[in-house]
Amino acid sequence: MNPRVLLVSNRLPVAATGDAAKPLRTTAGGLGTSLKGVHESGNSVWIGWPGNMELSPEAAENLNEALQEKGFVPVDLTPGDLKDYYDNISNGVLWPLFHYLIHQLPYNAKGWETYRNVNMKFAEATASQYQAGDLIWVHDYHLMLVPGMLREMLPDAQIGFFLHIPFPSSEIFRILPWREELLKGLMGADLIGFHTFTYSRHFSSSLVRILGADPEVDRVSHNGRTVHFGVFPIGIDVHRFVQQAHLPEVKEMSQRIRRQNPEEFLALGVDRLDYTKGIPRRLLAIERFLEKYPDFRGRFRFLQIAVPTRESSPAYNDFRSLVNELVGRINSTHGTMESLPVHLLYRTVDANELSALFLAADIMMVTPLRDGMNLVAKEFVASRVDGNGVLMISEFAGAAAELGESLLVNPYDIEDVADRIHEALRMTDADRRARMSLLAQRVSQMDAGTWARSFISHLASLTEGRQRVSFDTIETIRQSIKAVDSLLFLVDYDGTLTAIRDRPALAQPDAALRELVLRLSNLHRGRFWIVSGRHKHDLETWFPESNVGLVAEHGLWMRVEGNWTQVIEIDVSWKDKLRSIMASFAERTPGSQVEEKTASIAWHYRMADREFGRAQAKELRLHLLESFSNLPVHILNGKMCVEARIQGVHKGVATRRIAEMTKHESVLAAGDDQTDEDFLDLLPNSISIRIGRGHSKAQFRLHDPFELRALLESLASGEQNGE
Ligand code: ADQ
């Protein structure tokens, strides 16, 4: 049986009507429609705000009953909550900023405390419904702190988060005063979903720049857990739109819209009246089109359906006046006695009317300045069961990444949009139909149900979120080693045999460690190896005795019987560019320094001012990740250093060679960071130990180097005592 899903969103897909007899009505909106299928499958609870209403006690009771019956759990929000959390922060700051419209930001945003408190209300309401085994799926920018809050309350829960709007470039995201808190809030999730690869990449850059994290393509370690992120482009209920388009009353309505003037071309816009949707520039492009191609005057009509939205906000009222003004101007300049070129309807339309409009249009103009996805574009395509019509779409809408056969436009380029309207009207029938047929295939491949199912099944498959770090005792590890006769020791140095020190030079081995290493090395030739990222000079100086096995520079060099050999050939032609970048960071960051090895260059900031060093490290990593992405170079986040290393060189390279050479039955491998993961599972029966926290494939975990040394001591003496 599928697990139960707790859906969490700002709004429920229903709203209170205030009518005791029929207390609920369905609300429109992309999010609601897309999740409807999951909820109607019967195994989910939906937590959200049902809208505020002055209700009589009887009506309130009926409302609660109706909500409960349908699996909805209301979160009550006060007018004060709504003003700060919804108007001021969510829609006043996060919405414009995530859509790159920073001129819409208030000078001094107020209400963050309330945003946090309301997120806590949602988290508490969710936790109160939670039963072990449930999946939790939180939605959108209103609730970005909820995953983190839930993680505190329910450490073992599987938590997903989906962002319906764009994730902006890290340059924009870092404008937010609460950037760190928001990212940490998201880090409570096990899986974070975005509409496009671009948003996922921007998110990853913000993790580097703001949290100093070390993300991989689709995951990042945070507080000992792995947080996954991925691309799940949302779809629509294709079946419903196709069915609607076939209804006789819809066909009739569509013909009526057209028959008003069969010679006329109809362009259509359907949006919430939101400043992100690009309506004023769309109107300017239409004005320009009519100026530039006067033949179309009297034969071209643009119909804009604008759904009222966020009417409590002054920004939206001013915006409405601007749109009205533009419509008036175009109509008075380009209208004729018989017709007006622009027709603006400021209202919602019902499902059938919407389908009829989609079917009637020659061109669908979807030209937002930014849009997470834009469902209208997909709804238009699904509705064109006649295979006709042209979709024009802004390259700044997430949907553009999927709908390549549409006419892609830059909505800021008024001249080009005007020309593209002309191009669309002159497109040959064959071209139009060929494009529409390909678009229809794409839209039906990923519908709303597929989208929701793929996110949920991905979330359910992540079991790491439930694993918590627990440490083992030395005795437990000893027990599992006893049975093994022939053991090869592969042990990292810094952080594993010695504690991490402020300066690398201070980490030289103390007398007891040297003595332990020598004892282990003398037990059996070729048995004990130190596998380090350090330069070979350091290791050679500390362990000159030729029977200590040494691997330096993360597996590039190994010392066998006192002789150093380079394990593989490498191409270092990229090092010059890297050296100059690192040097410029060293110059600008007092106390930091560059260290060069055969296959790598590292910039160390242990000795620099902590805060400044950390900030510079984030900048350097981001720069290197972006500039060297096409070169075979790994950019690594070391402890107080940023290192760039040639790909193909890792500790697994040398350790594999050693295992072949020495032919031991089993391996005891120990390490404390990511670079050690490459040799922890060298042989199928390896005994692997991770020192400290952090994600690892090791079987065992010890707290610190002292525990590991105690274990090695006991093994060395056990061996000597003939155990
Ligand atoms: P929205 O910004 O609301 O969604 P969109 O994706 O276009 O934008 O969804 C709007 C929905 O409202 C569509 O289903 C549309 O049919 C409906 N609608 C629009 N105008 C209407 C009208 N006049 N009458 C009736 N219905 C109307 C946010 C993000 C998007 C993202 C969705 C889903 O901003 O980028 O695609 O969430 O993730």
Looking at the chain, how many residues does it have?
A: 723
Cross-strand pairs, 191: 160, 228
Q: Are strands 158-162 and 528-531 parallel, antiparallel or unpaired?
A: unpaired
Q: Would 474-568+649-720 and 575-646 be classified into the same CATH topology?
A: no
Specify the CATH architecture of the domain 238-447: 3-Layer(aba) Sandwich (3.40)
pLDDT in tens, 12-57: 998 888 777 788 888 767 788 788 888 988 789 999 998 877 777 7
The reported pLDDT for the residue numbered 32 is 81
Q: How far is the CA of 427 from the centre of ligand 1 (A)?
A: 28
Q: Nearest 5°: phi and psi at 571?
A: -100, 120
pLDDT in tens, 384-426: 999 999 999 999 999 999 999 999 999 999 999 999 999 999 9
Tell me the pLDDT band of 628, cut-offs 50, 70 and 90.
confident
Token pair in block for residue 289: 């089109």
Q: Which pTM was predicted?
A: 0.82
The reported pLDDT for the residue numbered 723 is 44
Half-sphere exposure of 560 (CA within 13 A, CB side): 12
User: Are 668 and 490 within 8 A, CB to CB?
Assistant: yes
Contacts of 43 (CB under 8 A, 6+ apart): 1, 2, 3, 4, 5
On the 0-12 / 13-18 / 19+ scale of CB atoms within 10 A, 126 is: buried
User: Are 377 and 404 within 8 A, CB to CB?
Assistant: no
The mean pLDDT of 213-228, rounded to a whole number, is 89
Per-residue three-class SS string for 615-663: HHHHHHHHHHHHHCCCCCEEEEEECCEEEEEECCCCHHHHHHHHHHHHC
The response to whether residue 374 sits with its C-beta less than 6 Å from ligand 1 reads: yes
User: Are 420 and 407 within 8 A, CB to CB?
Assistant: yes
Contacts 24+ apart (CB under 8 A), 432-437: 432/388, 432/389, 432/390, 433/387, 433/388, 434/405, 435/390, 435/391, 435/405, 435/406, 436/381, 436/384, 436/387, 436/388, 436/389, 436/390, 436/391, 436/405, 437/387
CA pair distance 97, 170, nearest whole angstrom: 11
Contacts of 527 (CB under 8 A, 6+ apart): 487, 488, 489, 520, 521, 549, 662, 664
Q: What is the CATH number of domain 575-646?
A: 3.30.70.1020
The response to whether residue 35 sits with its C-beta less than 6 Å from ligand 1 reads: no
pLDDT in tens, 552-610: 999 999 998 889 999 999 888 888 889 989 999 998 888 899 999 999 999 999 888 88
Q: What is the CATH number of domain 5-231?
A: 3.40.50.2000
411: DSSP letter = T
Query: Hey, which of 357, 375, 451 would you mutate to test ligand 1's pocket, going by the most ligand atoms within 8 Å of its Cβ?
Result: 375
Q: How far is the CA of 373 from the centre of ligand 1 (A)?
A: 9
User: Are 186 and 192 within 8 A, CB to CB?
Assistant: yes
Contacts of 552 (CB under 8 A, 6+ apart): 532, 533, 534, 535, 536, 538, 539, 558, 559, 564
CA pair distance 328, 334, nearest whole angstrom: 10
467: DSSP letter = -
Question: What SS3 class is residue 332?
Answer: helix
Provide the residue ranges of all domains of the chain, joining segments of one domain with +.
5-231, 238-447, 474-568+649-720, 575-646
Q: How far is the CA of 74 from the centre of ligand 1 (A)?
A: 23
Domain 474-568+649-720 has CATH 3.40.50.1000: yes
Catalytic residue among 271, 492, 538, 678: 492
* Percent of the chain residues past pLDDT 90, beyond the cut: 66
76 is an active site residue:
no
Token pair in block for residue 131: 């039963």
The mean pLDDT of 663-669, rounded to a whole number, is 87
Tell me the pLDDT band of 465, cut-offs 50, 70 and 90.
very low
